[in-house]
Copies of this chain bind each other. A is one copy, B any other.
Amino acid sequence: MNKAASRLIPTRIDGYGPIRPFTGAFDNLGVVKTSPTRMCSAVPGRSKLLSSVEAAIQACGLRDGGTISFHHHLRNGDYVLSMVLAAIARLGLKDITIAPSSVFPIHAPLVDHIRTGVVTGISTAYMVGEVARTISRGMLAKPVIMQTHGGRARAIQAGELHIDVAFIGAPTADVYGNINGVDGPSACGSLGYAAVDVQYADWVVAITDNLVRYPACPIDITQDHVDFIIPVDSIGDRDGIVSGTTRPTSDPTGLQIANTAAQVIAASGLLREGFSFQTGAGGVSLAVAAALKDVMLQHKIQGSFASGGITGLIVDMLHAGLFRTLFDVQCFDLHAVESFRRDDAHLGMSASMYANPHNRGAVVNQLDAMILGATEIDLDFNVNVTTGTDGVIMGGSGGHADAAAGAKLALVTSRLNAGGYAKVVDQVGTITTPGETIDVLVTEAGVAVNPQRNELRDRLIDAGIDVREMEELKTLASRSAIRPRRAGTSDRPVAVVEYRDGTVSDVVTAA
């Protein structure tokens, strides 16, 4: 039975349209058609250089009601989104939809643009900070569309998310639009999210603080995709790339969970020559990687690849020979950026190659084990990483639901409680990742296995791992909770949570 599908979801939402409810993780595969791209052919001899963002916006003919996109490789150090929106506001444009691959605290000026009606729609895979809080209070005209990283690539490819102008923050660009992410003062490494936007947008504008003579070398995004180049003083602050934790936790409970998770992976039978792995950048997730590193060294196992957003810790595993290759859609820290520049085995991948369910085979499909975080997880193994206990948006899927669907072993690590709230609950506040794609929950009080994975459950028990029922973990969690989750106060939809295939797994209402 599919619990995510049973969630009460309206059939239509104003500002979003008709809703196709989520029915199952692999229900909408099959034959698809990509959207045609509109392009303006280059006239030989004509320069692509323009002197200002305003000039580019005008050259692209952006109008009221248009859609523009951004990528988030500079993360909380990104200046490009705010720079472009300021120019759009100066030009008096209104009713713009923005499609940044993620939104960070640095994008707080967006709140004013929402207030003044310059921006009325947002599609993104992740949002945190003042913008997310503003949206949760219901200030945006249309509900935000919360996608997965792979779902964003799919929606762009399908033409559901049509981009009029894609703005590319280019750490290095030449005068004819060849771009790389590895040179220049704002080097951020892989440009995997931008790679999809430039394929399907009507217009592509590169904004760079490192304009080089032709041709740039290496090249990550090629000139045949770029209409205009704007030189500016700075596209961002590299120090903002590292936002949040990127080192393994040192907390004893976190370490205990991480060690158990590593035991689960070993017991699953997947940790053999050619093992493939992905983990997020949270402290426990990274501690799992550190624990695996020891096991792999001890048993002389070389993995095939690690993927995802790449951290320095994963780079160290590459350098130690524990993986043959890395697939990198974005660098999470400067050590990863440096490795992306230098290491031939540190490969870039587009967001589509990474996680798009509607291509001929994404990298997530090749994953053995994926370590996932959770704000909450429920009895049906549904995971929420979108909203906090107060119902306010503070994240989003990113690649969470994508990797869970692709990996042979999708493992969630979570404490039973945090901040006085239970994290293992009856029903999550928001279904970000449907439980049918989650295999195991690892807590400090034991491990729960999805009832659909009995063979895995037997393996874990045989290995002496403390396997519990989900119900039991939930009871323990609620017993030590000192605060009740806040009930919803409004019916007004502020965000539509799309599964990677474009169906809707949940709707977030105003908090």
* Chain A residues near B (Cβ < 8 Å): 26, 29-45, 48, 176-177, 204, 213-215, 217-219, 222-227, 274, 304-305, 324-325, 327, 344-345, 347, 349-350, 352-353, 356-366, 405-406
Distance, CA A356 to CA B43, complexed state (A)? 12
Is A41's CB under 8 angstroms from B357's CB?
yes
Distance, CA A35 to CA B406, complexed state (A)? 29
- Complex partner residue of A224 from B39, B217, B218, B359, CB under 8 angstroms: B359
CB-nearest residue of chain B relative to A33?
B36
Chain B residues whose C-beta falls within 8 Å of the C-beta of A204 in the assembled complex: 360
Is B31's CB under 8 angstroms from A361's CB?
no
Chain B residues whose C-beta falls within 8 Å of the C-beta of A226 in the assembled complex: 360-361
Main secondary structure of the interface of A (DSSP, over half): loop
Some 29 contacts from A to B, beta carbons below 8 A apart, are A29-B41, A29-B42, A33-B39, A34-B39, A36-B36, A39-B359, A41-B360, A42-B359, A42-B361, A42-B362, A45-B365, A48-B361, A176-B366, A214-B274, A215-B305, A215-B325, A215-B327, A217-B324, A217-B347, A218-B344, A222-B350, A223-B360, A223-B362, A224-B356, A224-B360, A225-B360, A226-B360, A226-B361, A227-B360
Is A215's CB under 8 angstroms from B304's CB?
yes
Chain B residues whose C-beta falls within 8 Å of the C-beta of A304 in the assembled complex: 213-215
CB-nearest residue of chain B relative to A158?
B36
Distance, CA A282 to CA B431, complexed state (A)? 64
Chain B residues whose C-beta falls within 8 Å of the C-beta of A356 in the assembled complex: 224
Besides A42-B360, A215-B305, 8 new A-B residue pairs in contact (Cβ under 8 A), listed by A number: A31-B38, A39-B360, A42-B362, A215-B327, A217-B324, A223-B353, A223-B360, A224-B350
Chain B residues whose C-beta falls within 8 Å of the C-beta of A324 in the assembled complex: 215, 217
Distance, CA A305 to CA B212, complexed state (A)? 14
Given contacts A215-B304, A325-B217, A327-B215, A358 and B33 within 8 Å (CB-CB): no
Chain B residues whose C-beta falls within 8 Å of the C-beta of A325 in the assembled complex: 215, 217
Given contacts A42-B29, A356-B224, A361 and B176 within 8 Å (CB-CB): yes
Is A26's CB under 8 angstroms from B39's CB?
no
Distance, CA A361 to CA B45, complexed state (A)? 10
Distance, CA A352 to CA B222, complexed state (A)? 10
CB-nearest residue of chain B relative to A159?
B36
Is B26's CB under 8 angstroms from A32's CB?
no
Is B26's CB under 8 angstroms from A44's CB?
yes
Question: How many Å from the CB of A436 to the closest CB on chain B?
Answer: 13
Chain B residues whose C-beta falls within 8 Å of the C-beta of A42 in the assembled complex: 29, 359-362, 365
Question: How many Å from the CB of A315 to the closest CB on chain B?
Answer: 15
CB-nearest residue of chain B relative to A353?
B224
Is B214's CB under 8 angstroms from A366's CB?
yes
The 9 A-B pairs of least Cβ separation, nearest first, read: A42-B361, A224-B359, A29-B41, A44-B365, A34-B37, A224-B353, A41-B358, A33-B36, A217-B325
- Complex partner residue of A37 from B29, B33, B38, B345, CB under 8 angstroms: B33
Is A30's CB under 8 angstroms from B41's CB?
yes
Given contacts A347-B217, A347-B219, A360-B204, A43 and B31 within 8 Å (CB-CB): no
Distance, CA A242 to CA B393, complexed state (A)? 61
Question: How many Å from the CB of A365 to the closest CB on chain B?
Answer: 4
Given contacts A40-B30, A217-B345, A347-B218, A360 and B45 within 8 Å (CB-CB): no
Chain B residues whose C-beta falls within 8 Å of the C-beta of A225 in the assembled complex: 359-360
Distance, CA A29 to CA B441, complexed state (A)? 57
Chain B residues whose C-beta falls within 8 Å of the C-beta of A353 in the assembled complex: 222-224
Question: How many Å from the CB of A28 to the closest CB on chain B?
Answer: 8
Is B31's CB under 8 angstroms from A362's CB?
no
Is A361's CB under 8 angstroms from B218's CB?
no
Question: How many Å from the CB of A146 to the closest CB on chain B?
Answer: 22
Chain B residues whose C-beta falls within 8 Å of the C-beta of A362 in the assembled complex: 42, 223-224
Distance, CA A213 to CA B274, complexed state (A)? 9
Distance, CA A36 to CA B215, complexed state (A)? 30
Chain B residues whose C-beta falls within 8 Å of the C-beta of A350 in the assembled complex: 222, 224
Chain B residues whose C-beta falls within 8 Å of the C-beta of A218 in the assembled complex: 344, 347
Chain B residues whose C-beta falls within 8 Å of the C-beta of A360 in the assembled complex: 39-42, 177, 204, 223-227
Is B224's CB under 8 angstroms from A44's CB?
no
Distance, CA A32 to CA B40, complexed state (A)? 6
CB-nearest residue of chain B relative to A359?
B224
Distance, CA A503 to CA B436, complexed state (A)? 54
CB-nearest residue of chain B relative to A198?
B360
Distance, CA A283 to CA B261, complexed state (A)? 65
Question: How many Å from the CB of A100 to the closest CB on chain B?
Answer: 22
